[in-house]
Amino acid sequence: MPLGDHLRELRKRLVLAFIGILLGAIGGWFLYDVIYGLLQQPVEELRARGVEATLNFDSVASSFDIKLRVAGFLGLIVSCPWWIYHLWAFLAPGLKHNERRWTLAVIGAGVPLFAGGVYMAWLALPNTYILLTQFVPEGETSSLFIGVTDYLKFVMQFLLIFGFAFLLPLILVVLNFLGVVKGITWLKGWRWAVIVIFVLSALATPTADVVTFILMALPIVVLYFAAVGICLLNDRRRARKSAKEEAELDDALADGASSSADAER
């Protein structure tokens, strides 16, 4: 496909993905009160510890801005099947028909992967936020005024980072199916991959409880090796197919040579 066609296809897929996110954001607009109540739970836990924590709308337009942000965040979450599908649809033209079936199955796993990453981050969020604010003295004389814009930006980015992190194994598989990287390459780099996963998990969940960040890292490590296994199986399948095609070609050439020899005689 020419470069211009690729760019037009990319634009088409981005527009369709954006429309899906926008429709989800419209639903999020009407669910704002419910979602906002859920997102401020870490602040409620701070209050339970005796810290007078308060979320502050520090400008005239901040309440409207926050409602837009929360609606967009929910739109991105609920529309993940839609934009993951269009990611696959953009990549699919470069694959053969049978490979597209495999890729569709793998991309279909992207929805629970993304949702699982968001859920794992949600479980770790309260401990993370409590740790970051643990130096505020407890008692009636202590107050913590939190800008609602900065707070919700932190919470939403935290959840989305882990959602996209859980999609990384899927990206490894897609790159392998596209023929960009072989499975053995991912396997050789497993030590670095594990180190990077644990370091990023420790940074993203800076909690004194070591068990928390380990529980965050282990699912990603398991998904990494599962992705490597799928890549290796795909490489083996391709190698068998290539060997079979070469054998058939050799047989055809041998038959052709034999026929030519018989004709000469």
- Per-residue pLDDT for 115 more than 70? yes
> What range defines the domain where residue 96 resides?
1-166
Let me know whether 81 and 198 are in one domain.
no
Highest mean pLDDT among 40-49, 135-144, 166-175, 252-261: 166-175
Pairwise pLDDT comparison (17 vs 257), residue with the higher score? 17
pLDDT band at 208 (very low <50, low <70, confident <90, very high): low
Q: Which of 166, 199, 217 represents a domain boundary (last residue)?
A: 166
Tokens at 150, concatenated: 């900065």
Q: Give the residue, 260 or 196, on which the prediction is more confident.
A: 196
28 lies in the same domain as 58? yes
Using the 3D structure, point to which of 138, 166, 194 is the last residue of a domain. Answer: 166
As a whole number of angstroms, the distance between CA 67 and CA 241 comes to 54
DSSP the chain: --HHHHHHHHHHHHHHHHHHHHHHHHHHHHTHHHHHHHHTHHHHHHHHTT-EEEEE--STTHHHHHHHHHHHHHHHHHTHHHHHHHHHHHHGGGS-HHHHHHHHHHHHTHHHHHHHHHHHHHHHHHHHHHHHTTTSPPSTT-EEEEEHHHHHHHHHHHHHHHHHHTTHHHHHHHHHHTTSS-HHHHHHTHHHHHHHHHHHHHHHS--S-HHHHHHHHHHHHHHHHHHHHHHHHHHHHHHHHHHHHHHHHHHHHHHHHHHHHHHH-
pLDDT higher at 94 or 7: 7
pLDDT in tens, 145-200: 777 888 888 888 888 888 888 888 888 887 887 777 888 888 888 888 888 888 87
- Residue 138, pLDDT above cutoff 60: no
* Dist CA 5 CA 161 (whole Å): 31
Q: Residue 264 pLDDT more than 70?
A: no
pLDDT(221) > 70: yes
Check residue 42 and give its pLDDT.
77
Spatial CB neighbours of 221, under 8 Å, sequence gap ≥ 6? 193, 194, 197, 198
Of 83 and 105, the structure prediction assigns the larger pLDDT to 83
In a domain, 97, yes or no: yes
Which one has a higher pLDDT value, 231 or 60?
Answer: 231
The answer to whether residues 158 and 201 belong to one domain is: no
Mean pLDDT of the chain: 77
- Looking at the structure, tell me whether residues 182 and 229 fall in a common domain: yes
Last residue of one domain, picked from the residues 166, 196, 219: 166
Range among 68-72, 123-127, 160-164 with highest mean pLDDT value: 68-72
Structural contact between residues 64 and 9, judged by C-beta atoms closer than 8 angstroms: no
222, pLDDT greater than 80: yes
Q: Could you report the per-residue pLDDT of 226-257, keeping only the tens digit for each?
A: 888 988 888 888 888 877 777 777 666 666 65
DSSP structure string for 62-131: HHHHHHHHHHHHHHHHHTHHHHHHHHHHHHGGGS-HHHHHHHHHHHHTHHHHHHHHHHHHHHHHHHHHHH
Which residue's structure tokens are 């839609």?
82
Residue whose C-alpha is closest to residue 136's, from 208, 50, 205: 50
- The answer as to whether 261 is a domain residue is no
- How far apart (Å, rounded) are the C-alpha atoms in residues 157 and 151? 10
The per-residue pLDDT for 99 is 58
Question: Does residue 265 fall inside a structural domain?
Answer: no
pLDDT tier at 50 (50, 70, 90 boundaries)? low
- Is residue 249 included in any domain, yes or no? yes
Asked if residue 90 has pLDDT above 80, the reply is no
Q: Which amino acid is present at 140? A: E
230 is a domain residue: yes
- The size of the chain, in residues, is 265
Most confident among 20-24, 53-57, 244-248, 252-256 (mean pLDDT): 20-24
- At 93 the pLDDT is 66
Mean pLDDT over residues 204-220, rounded? 68
Q: How far apart are CA 41 and CA 48, in angstroms?
A: 11
Total domain count, the chain: 2
The stretch 99-127 carries a mean pLDDT of 76
Same domain, 181 and 162: no
- Mean pLDDT in residue range 29-53: 78
